[in-house]
Amino acid sequence: MPLDGFTPWPEKLAREYKAKGYWPDQTIPEVLEPWFRKTPDRVAIVDETSRVTYGELGSITHRLSLAMLELGVKKEDRVLLQLPNWAEFFYFYFGLMKFGAIPVMAIPHLRSVELGHLMGLTDPVAMAIPPSYRGFDYIALAEELRRQFPKLAHIIVVRGQAPPGMHSLDDLLGKVEAANYPPNYLDRLKPDPDDVAFILHTGGTTGLPKGVCRTHNDFLSNYNTYQRHWGWGPDTVNLSNLPVELNASLGRATNCLLVGGKEVVITSTTPEAMIQAIETEGVNDMLPVPTQGVDLLNLPDLEQHDLSALKRMYCGVGVFTADQLRTLRDRMGCQILRAYGMTEGPTLRSRPTDTLEEVIERIGPPCCEVDEFKIVDEEGNEVPRGQEGELLAQGPHVIRGYYKAPEENQRSFDRDGFFRTGDNAFIDEKGYIRLTGRKKDWIRRGGQTIIPLEIEDPLISHPKIENAAAVGMPDPRLGERTCIYIQPRPGQSITLEEVTQYLQEKGLAKYKLPERIELVSQMPLTGHGKVDKKPLREAIAQKLEAEGKV
């Protein structure tokens, strides 16, 4: 039986995907495990303090599976992972999936508001956290959440001492007597390939995280395309320096390990750290967000480093100009390709055979040959090729619904099950998709998505604020930053410092805080009486241009 709240693919499509080999009918651990035996001494994971071979990865994930079972974690139980880019993340990730428990991804930036909503949605029985990270006390946050969610029975502290009532990962692994279990003990607990493998989080129209369920089969359809079209294999060395709980990072990291490559994870997002990883670990494939690409270009001594290992860099859709992409190619000495992807599954990537000029002009074909994309008008009718409209998608790696979100699903999927991306695009004469803008008013700050309602809703309760509207303002490095338009109550005024302090007290993550405030006497409204954000975005863009900041 499917997990309650999960929307499966229609049976006809599922049969087709399996018959054509896009769904291999294997679990993710099944694809990984042969490398434990074939290349036990090869390095699998490198983080900033450790190097883990495939043999060690196999041994530790096996022990972690047993440790979690001994705690009482069962198939389909959710376990929330909020860990930095450390090797231990992968122990939990693969170890839980091995017996059908479901990892729930939570990036380290999430705080009580977002994390509480995600926990209420997924109802986890356990969570894994660092004791502290970048000055933040995760143990205190976990204690607060446990008081709100009594089902949260186990809090596991990684790389640190656990206070009373919690577990340390080292103690859990140390207590397991693996020799007491038959070698094939976990085989009988193996999940079905159509079961939910893990749950990601993403934004939605309500502004709080939505659950995106990935099955083993649907995820492995993506893995297969990495092998076929991008030539990933045992020689691949991939760099991940954004949180591994994010879709793009997790997908690439998992795929790198599934092909027997070396996955390099670092916690720093600085250009110096990326350059060091390329030089010391031989990174040959990476996907920096636009912010990081701009930072690399700003390094004056870039040419003094040995970047010969780097063969390919994917640049996401963002602030890059054609000249910047050409300069990146010339200064980094590698092939520049582009990628567009969403947590919900739609993925477009340049092919290695594309010229740089083709890469500049368009955002590749679908990642998977049987993915279906269509362009529709405001009424949902498909438009002729070459005409602009909203981009919709379905396929073996595109979800059919959010987790436990029937109302959101009504808005986000059409009657045929196609996912509404919220991006405007057209399909050119060669079948390539060209993005032209964003229909949804989400803010994309340095590769992170900010939903304006996350900011606006709590501000409406501020005693000085009559109305609030968050919009993206252009930024040459991050792509966008957040500008908050405030309509104060009569006789009141308010500062940016007051706004950000209030939002932090409400538990909003730091990266979502507004970075500029504009006070207005009246908000522009649409014909339906809602705030019209288009003139607000245009106004702030004009102001920044006049100030010489874009």
Q: Report the chain's mean pLDDT, rounded to a whole number.
A: 92
Residue 203: pLDDT over 70: no
Kindly list the distances between the CA atom of residue 404 and the CA atoms of 122, 344, 429, in Å, as whole numbers in the listed order.
9, 15, 39
Which residues, in sequence order, are bridge partners of residue 372?
394
Residue 320: pLDDT over 80: no
Give the pLDDT confidence of 210-233 residue by residue, as tens digits: 999 999 999 999 888 777 777 899
Kindly list the distances between the CA atom of residue 180 and the CA atoms of 70, 95, 105, 297, 449, in Å, as whole numbers in the listed order.
12, 18, 32, 55, 47
3-state secondary structure of 337: strand
Strand 516-519 and strand 154-157: the pairing is unpaired
CA angle 225, 442, 211 (to 5 degrees): 55
Task: Identify the CA nearest to 259 among candidates 39, 15, 418.
Answer: 39
Give the pLDDT confidence of 355-403 residue by residue, as tens digits: 998 888 887 778 888 899 999 998 999 999 989 899 999 999 999 999 9
Handedness of CA 65, 71, 76, 80 (dihedral sign): negative
pLDDT at res. 351: 84
Q: Between helices 216-230 and 247-258, what is the axis angle to 10°?
A: 70
Amino acid identity of residue 391, one-letter, is: L
Give the C-alpha separation, 345 to 7, whole Å: 14
Give the pLDDT confidence of 2-14 residue by residue, as tens digits: 899 999 999 999 9
Give the C-alpha separation, 294 to 270, whole Å: 11
Which residues, in sequence order, are bridge partners of residue 157?
129, 168
Residue 525: pLDDT over 80: no
Segment 522-549 mean pLDDT:
85
Would you tell me how many other CB atoms lie within 10 Å of the CB of residue 522? Answer: 8
Give the pLDDT confidence of 392-437 residue by residue, as tens digits: 999 999 999 999 999 999 999 999 999 999 888 888 887 788 887 6
Give the pLDDT confidence of 96-130 residue by residue, as tens digits: 999 999 999 999 999 998 899 999 999 999 999 99
Give the C-alpha separation, 31 to 190, whole Å: 13
User: What percentage of the chain reaches a pLDDT higher than 70?
Assistant: 97
pLDDT at res. 534: 86
Q: Between helices 112-122 and 138-148, what is the axis angle to 10°?
A: 50
List the single range of 25-29, 257-261, 508-512 with lowest mean pLDDT. 508-512
Give the pLDDT confidence of 167-194 residue by residue, as tens digits: 999 999 999 999 999 989 999 999 999 9
pLDDT at res. 74: 97
Residue 275 pLDDT class (50, 70, 90 cuts)? very high
pLDDT at res. 454: 81
Amino acid identity of residue 118, one-letter, is: L
Question: Which residues touch 277 (CB under 8 Å, ≥6 apart)?
Answer: 239, 241, 264, 266, 283
CA dihedral in degrees (477, 277, 169, 31; nearest 10)? 100
pLDDT at res. 470: 94
Give the C-alpha separation, 380 to 400, whole Å: 17
Per DSSP, 364 falls in state: -
Residue 319 pLDDT class (50, 70, 90 cuts)? low
Segment 85-93 mean pLDDT:
98
Residue 234: pLDDT over 50: yes
Give the pLDDT confidence of 65-79 residue by residue, as tens digits: 999 999 999 999 999
pLDDT at res. 363: 79
Segment 141-151 mean pLDDT:
96
List the single range of 281-285, 457-461, 511-515 with lowest mean pLDDT. 457-461
Q: Which residue has the tokens 């970048």?
A: 134
Kindly list the distances between the CA atom of residue 79 and the CA atoms of 96, 154, 279, 422, in Å, as whole numbers in the listed order.
8, 9, 36, 30
Segment 464-480 mean pLDDT:
91
Segment 445-474 mean pLDDT:
87
**Torsional class of 42: left (φ above 0), alpha (ψ -120 to 50), beta (otherwise):** beta
**CB–CB of 435/441 below 8 Å?**
no
Residue 307: pLDDT over 70: yes
First to last CA, the chain: 53
pLDDT at res. 206: 53
Amino acid identity of residue 123, one-letter, is: D
**CB–CB of 313/298 below 8 Å?**
no
Q: Which residue has the tokens 């003094």?
A: 304
Segment 312-318 mean pLDDT:
81
Kindly list the distances between the CA atom of residue 154 and the CA atoms of 127, 227, 466, 502, 535, in Å, as whole numbers in the listed order.
7, 38, 43, 32, 49
Residue 528: pLDDT over 50: no
Give the C-alpha separation, 140 to 142, whole Å: 5
